[in-house]
Amino acid sequence: MTYHEPIKGAGAERRDELGNFNKAYRTKPHRGSDWGFKTGSEGKPVYAVADGLVAKVLWSDVLGHCIITKNSHDKVYTIFAHLKEAPTLARMDRVIGGETVVGLIGNTGSASAGAHLHAAASTEQLPHLAAVDKLLDLFKLIDASKPKTAPVAKTPTTKPATKKAPAKKA
């Protein structure tokens, strides 16, 4: 397991995928992935999607309060946007993992029309400024990390006893 869902618990849902531009409210392809809670998203915790470090905390007029993390396993940067308040993990290089709360869902920034989490991933240090074709699909990365459904129990295969090569004589 390398990638985790950034929100957890009852009512947590994926809302909008990377590249989506079919919806009436959008004039450009979606530059990230969205999550929210059926029961109200404001103030709910956002977790790191992988083990790594805090790379940057920033404010953007468009994206509001943001935090950028860097994964240790694949060096991918992820920005979490529209956070409720300035993340408190401001210390750079702070080690984080899938259980670390990196911020709280909010509605900050002009591109947010309701509390939700927008996240974008890229090998570039500032994913929100990366070209669309440099963005990675977090939904797919997370799905690829999920354990595969357990296979139907197989009858254990009887392995032929491995014959040891006879010890060489000195």
CB-facing half-sphere around the CA of 39: CA atoms within 13 A: 8
Asked if 127 interacts with Zn ion (CB under 5 A), we say no
Q: How far is the CB of 81 from Zn ion (least distance, A)?
A: 7
What's the burial of 14, exposed, middle or buried (CB within 10 Å: 0-12/13-18/19+)?
A: middle
Q: How far is the CB of 149 from Zn ion (least distance, A)?
A: 29
Binding to Zn ion, residues 23-42 (CB under 5 A) = 32, 34
Alpha helix (H) ranges present in the chain?
138-145
Asked if 51 interacts with Zn ion (CB under 5 A), we say no
Among 118, 130, 138, 141, binds Zn ion (CB under 5 A): 118
Q: How far is the CB of 24 from Zn ion (least distance, A)?
A: 15
Q: Which residue has the tokens 């409720």?
A: 84
Select 42 or 53, whichever has its Cβ closest to Zn ion.
Answer: 42
Asked if 82 interacts with Zn ion (CB under 5 A), we say no
**Can you say whether residue 108 is alpha, beta or left, with left for phi > 0 and alpha for psi between -120 and 50 degrees?**
beta
| Residues in contact with Zn ion by the rule CB under 5 A | 32, 34, 118
